[in-house]
Chain A
Amino acid sequence: MSALLSAGVVLGAMLVLIAARVPIGVAMFMAGAAGYGAVVGAAALLSYLKGLLWARFSVYDLSVIPLFLLMGQFATEAGFSRTLFHAANALIGHRQGGVAMASVTACMAFGSICGSSVATAATMSQVALPEMRRLRYSDRLATATLAVGGTLGILIPPSVILIIYALLAEQSIVKLFAAAVVPGLIATLFYLVTIAIYVRVVPGQAVAQPRASAAERLAALRAAWPIAAIFLCIFVGIYGGWFTATEGAAVGAVATLALGAARRQLPWRRVARCFLPAAQTTAMILTVLLGATMMNAALAVSRVPAGLAAWIAALDVPPLLVIGGFIAGFILLGCVLDELAMMLLLLPILLPTILALDLPGLSVEEKAIWFGILMLMATGVGLVAPPIGLNVYVVANIARTVPIGEIYRGAAPFLAADLVRLTLLVLAPQLTLWALRFVR
């Protein structure tokens, strides 16, 4: 009982600190350290801390984070979003709502070399928004498309959120990336269908433009293929077992840099500028990982997560309902809390319950991977759902004249598509797990 009480106090203290603008990693660390010390003693805490930093930082897989971040920065600075958008636009831009569809497709392609939704939304908006405005697409459709399309930056691997999940849940990054492929493609497809329905149901949202000539299409594709080649090289390499995830990220970063330099789009001044944002985000992630590790240790000695798992198992609720409930709660909480923070806070408490669920035909590893993908999807919803959808703010910031509410209204049909996709993925785990057979 005293352990349960101390876990309650620790979690309460952490939430108070977080509400008081204390950085989340620090709040988790300080509350966790106090709780750990209270249960096992100050001497044991000091001894535990001796090896904590090394244990948390000297992790081989951690190196994929700065490498993929750098690759995304290089791709952004080199203007690859423009190349990808022009290629997609040349292929499908003439359809009704086609430029919006091209934006989503280009977001997917950019997401395959960039692991951040905010970066994808920002860089794609700078290219696609002026084009959609020039063609008199409604602001509502144009901005919502880009806010939603930006989430493909994390839904399509590589994905920073998935890497953090892999590190926390001790799962293979490569397998999580593979599992994310089909759900990411489904997301893209659903967004395209949503746009097609939207422009037919609501008139005056998008005006058709003439079809690009064969020569224009060929030129646009020729400019885009090396980017696709980088993506293919990384993922065939890591899924086929030729590279580790780190090596894939290293190859990707070096190849992206080389391509940008070869096209004279990445002068040295810009290359240098890529390092600081990558350093900042890496350190932010490392700090929350450090805090989450300390908090996990405190919760583990209190045995609360194991207790919760046993309690929920004893309730005899259908497992799919438990999962659905977790995801629904995750989405609701995501309306007020930062998604990454929420995942870090909830994962140590929820994961033991998920792994203990009786889901016929799924191994423990498959459950962990499947739940990771579901959590990723829920994160994507939180990025465009009111009141604080980060991507919506990013796009609004670039569009300047479009009110936030207008973007949220435009995003509503896409959110409906998200919910359909989430339901589909909950009911059919094989959609997610199917791709694992290709991982060596």
Chain B
Amino acid sequence: MTAGRLDTWLQRLAVAAAYLGGAVVTGLALMSVVSIVGRSVLARPILGDFELVEIGIAVAGSLFLPYCQASRGHIIVDVFTLRAGARTVRALDRLGALLTAAMFLLVAWRTLAGGLDIARSGETSMLMQVPIWIGYAGMIPGVALAALIALAQAVGGPSGDLRDDR
């Protein structure tokens, strides 16, 4: 498989992850609306819906990371490098991508370790008794994919960019 095809696959995965995260957020929004109607109209609250929001937002947020990485959506400061040549800027951006990959890899690895600890201790959420390790496990794929994309940007082909199609 060539580097170009790998890039394409990573980008497709990033977009798919973003839509999956979007679906989770949509689910949270609908659940909130149902919860409001339930408690105000039917006097029947969803007990512990906020726990699902916490798990959902953690998972959705991590699923957004790969797309942000692939489309280079992170904030950078460019005033100090406005006069630098294109080659310098490219080299710096590779360095930035490498550091980003290192950060996400470190975080993914430690979250895995933390999740295993939690799974062993059997900790659950207070009201709904959802095992907390599920939240940890749900965050790891997004972070790991973001790390992979950053790595591809650091060592691979020139772009690794997704175009915003607007």
Residues of A within 8 A of B28 (CB): 63, 67, 246, 250
B residues within 8 A CB of A247? 32-33, 35-36
Question: Of B73, B81, B111, B113, which contacts A280 at CB under 8 A?
Answer: B73
Nearest Cβ on chain B to A69's Cβ, whole angstroms? 9
State A276–B93 Cα separation when bound (angstroms).
23
Q: Is the CB of A254 within 8 A of B33?
A: yes
A53 pairs with B139, CB closer than 8 A: yes
**B54 and A67 contacting across the interface, CB-CB below 8 Å:** no
Residues facing B in A261-278 (CB within 8 A) are 272-273, 275-278
Q: Contact: B29 with A280, CB < 8 Å?
A: no
Q: Which residue of B lies closest to A286 (CB)?
A: B61
- Give the contacting residue for A60; candidates B53, B113, B117; CB below 8 A: B53
Residue of A with least CB distance to B102: A30
Chain A contacts with B in 285-319, Cβ cutoff 8 A: 286-288, 290
Judge if A58 is at the interface, Cβ distance under 8 Å. Answer: yes
Complex Cα gap A377–B21 (Å): 32
| Residue B99 is within 8 A (CB to CB) of chain A in the complex | yes
- Contact partner, A24, options B56, B75, B81, B103, Cβ 8 Å: B75
Contacting pair B107 A52 (CB below 8 A): yes
Q: How far is the CB of B46 from chain A (nearest CB, A)?
A: 11
Contact of B107 among A254, A280, A290 (CB under 8 A): A290
B21 to A279, Cβ gap below 8 A?
yes
Find the B residue at minimum CB distance from A277.
B164
* Partner among B33, B64, B67, B96 whose Cβ is within 8 Å of the Cβ of A286: B64
- CB of B114 within 8 A of CB of A51, answer yes
Contact A22 B25 (CB under 8 A): no
> A25 at the A/B interface (Cβ < 8 Å)?
yes
Closest beta carbon of chain A to B31's beta carbon, Å: 8
Is chain B's binding surface mostly helix, strand, loop or mixed?
helix
Tell me if A338 counts as interface (CB < 8 A to partner B).
yes
Tell me, rounded to whole Å, the shortest Cβ–Cβ distance linking A52 to chain B.
Answer: 7
Instruction: Select B74's contact among A24, A53, A54, A60, beta carbons within 8 Å.
Output: A24
Q: Give chain B residues whose Cβ lies under 8 Å from the Cβ of A276.
A: 15, 18, 67, 71, 164
Q: Which residue of A62, A70, A286, A340 is within 8 Å of B75 (Cβ)?
A: A340
User: Within residues 37 to 92 of chain B, which ones have a CB less than 8 A from any CB in chain A?
Assistant: 40, 50, 53-58, 60-65, 67-69, 71, 73-81, 89, 92
A283 at the interface (CB under 8 A from B): yes
Nearest B residue to A340, CB-CB: B75
A21-B74 in contact (CB<8A): no
Is residue A243 within 8 Å, beta carbon to beta carbon, of the partner chain? yes
A284 to B66 alpha-carbon distance, docked (Å) = 10
* A60 x B57 contact (CB < 8 A): yes
Q: How far is the CA of A259 from the CA of B53 in the complex (A)?
A: 25
Q: What range describes how many residues of A lie at the interface?
A: 35 or more
Contact residues in B for A21 (Cβ distance below 8 Å) = 76-78, 81, 89, 92-93, 96
- Whether B156 is near chain A, meaning CB under 8 Å from some CB there, is no
Contact of B113 among A50, A243, A281 (CB under 8 A): A50
Interface: A202 (CB within 8 A): no
Which interface residue of A20, A30, A286 has the most chain B CB atoms within 10 A?
A20
Instruction: Looking at the assembled complex, report how far the CB atom of B101 sits from the nearest CB atom of chain A, in whole angstroms.
Output: 9
**B54 adjacent to A58 (CB under 8 Å):** yes
CB neighbours of B132 from chain A (8 A): 54
Is B54 touching A60 in the complex (CB atoms < 8 A)? Answer: yes
Asked if B74 and A50 make an inter-chain contact with CB atoms under 8 angstroms apart, the answer reads: no
Bound CA span A93–B107, Å: 54
Residues of A within 8 A of B62 (CB): 53, 57
Please, which residues of chain B bring their CB within 8 A of the CB of A287? 65, 68, 74
CB distance from A226 to the nearest CB of B (A): 17
Q: How far is the CB of A192 from chain B (nearest CB, A)?
A: 32
Q: With CB as the reference atom, state the residue of chain A lying closest to B67.
A: A279
Q: How far is the CA of A282 from the CA of B57 in the complex (A)?
A: 11
Residue positions of A touching B, CB distance < 8 A: 17-27, 29-30, 33, 46, 49-54, 57-60, 62-63, 66-67, 70, 242-244, 246-247, 249-251, 253-254, 272-273, 275-284, 286-288, 290, 336-338, 340-341, 388
Known: A21-B89, A280-B64. 4 other contacts (CB 8 A): A20-B81, A60-B53, A280-B71, A336-B79
Smallest CB-CB A-B distances: 8 pairs: A50-B114, A283-B68, A23-B74, A250-B32, A49-B110, A283-B64, A275-B22, A250-B29
Question: Please, could you name 14 A-B residue pairs with CB atoms under 8 Å apart, sorted by A?
Answer: A19-B77, A20-B92, A22-B95, A22-B100, A26-B100, A27-B99, A50-B113, A53-B58, A53-B107, A57-B58, A58-B55, A59-B57, A70-B25, A276-B71
